[in-house]
């Protein structure tokens, strides 16, 4: 596996692969890799001949008071895991490589989709995500890019961005990788104390309860959201949101909507946990 840090180096390697007739997959990450990230690598390998994994802790998607400085940076351990997984290139650029003119003045912003769920509490977050991913798409120019469905809103925004900006890239959503007790894998789970870690699967369990309620005919989604949020708070979660949303627009779902996502974000001690479940209702 090659570990590259410069934009020109990556473009040169990709050009060589293109000349040899290979297809290319990209898995963007912020590092501190876990088995969930490796499942994305395996998914990319299913569709492509060569896989590039990027590791870049992107400063523009962190807001004031968020954990940019504290975000785990474990490049050597990550490189070892990617090498074992058979990745051809690890692209680990510096901030200067990704933002060569210093303070960024050019942004990619997907209207409306970023106004709900995590975007409502993290202004500018998805603008930073869309901007850095568009840079990675421009650098690597992959045939396929793989993202986890745990970040449902991010995937929806990036799919819209790729379609509207005419990127010739197929975006694939990989199922959320979970621990044996149902907790969605996340780099931030390492911040949980032993007591918090034992409680953390309750987030997923509450989403399953909400899905069962909807499947059994519950249509007062705002009341359902409130009940789930209150119950999570009683179990020690500091709830940012619980939302039953239209899976396409991400706006709060109406009773006539058929494709839904039930999403939640809550702090448990230090880390902020997110999770979601989707469901399709039969036609009325």
Binding residue ranges for ATP:
30-37, 148-151, 177, 185-188
Ranges assigned E (strand) in 156-271? 170-174, 238-246, 259-267
Question: How do 259-267 and 238-246 pair as beta strands?
Answer: antiparallel
Contact 241, 120 (CB under 8 A): yes
Instruction: Output the known binding site.
Output: 30-37, 61, 148-151, 154, 177, 185-188
Distance CA 153, CA 27 (A): 17
Q: Is 266 helix (H, G, I), strand (E, B) or coil?
A: strand
Q: Spot the catalytic one: 37, 47, 125, 206.
A: 37
Instruction: Output the known binding site for (R)-pantoate.
Output: 61, 154
The CA-atom distances, in angstroms, between 262 and each of 36, 41, 159, 179 are 21, 26, 19, 20
Mark whether 19 is an active-site residue. Answer: no
Instruction: Output the known binding site for beta-alanine.
Output: 61
Q: What is the enclosing helix (H) or strand (E) of 148?
A: strand 144-148
CA 170 to chain centre: 16
Walk across the sheet containing 272-280 and list its strands.
Answer: 238-246, 259-267, 272-280
| Residues assigned a catalytic role | 37
């Amino acid at each position: 596996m090659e570990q590259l840090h410069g934009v020109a180096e990556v473009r040169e390697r990709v050009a060589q692969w293109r000349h040899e007739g290979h297809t290319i997959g990209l898995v963007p990450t912020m590092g501190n890799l876990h088995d969930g990230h490796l499942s994305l690598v395996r998914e990319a390998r299913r569709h492509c001949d060569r896989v590039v994994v990027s590791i870049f802790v992107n400063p523009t998607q962190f807001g004031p008071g968020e954990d940019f400085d504290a975000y785990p940076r474990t490049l050597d351990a990550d490189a070892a895991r990617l090498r074992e997984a058979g990745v051809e290139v690890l692209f680990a650029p510096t901030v200067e490589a990704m933002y060569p003119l210093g303070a960024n003045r050019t942004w990619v912003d997907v209207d409306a989709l970023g106004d709900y769920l995590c975007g409502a509490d993290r202004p500018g977050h998805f603008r930073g995500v869309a901007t850095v991913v568009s840079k990675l798409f421009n650098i690597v120019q992959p045939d396929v890019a793989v993202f986890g469905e745990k970040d449902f809103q991010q995937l929806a925004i990036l799919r819209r961005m790729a379609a509207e900006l005419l990127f010739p890239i197929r975006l694939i959503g990989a199922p959320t990788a979970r621990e044996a007790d149902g907790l969605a894998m996340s780099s931030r789970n390492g911040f949980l104390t032993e007591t918090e870690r034992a409680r953390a699967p309750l987030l997923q369990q509450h989403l399953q309860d909400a899905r069962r309620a909807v499947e059994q005919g519950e249509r007062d989604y705002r009341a359902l959201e409130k009940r789930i949020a209150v119950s999570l708070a009683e179990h020690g979660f500091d709830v940012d949101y619980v939302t039953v949303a239209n899976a396409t627009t991400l706006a709060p779902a109406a009773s006539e909507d058929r494709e839904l996502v039930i999403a939640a974000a809550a702090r448990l001690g230090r880390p902020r946990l997110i999770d979601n479940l989707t469901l399709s209702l039969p036609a009325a």
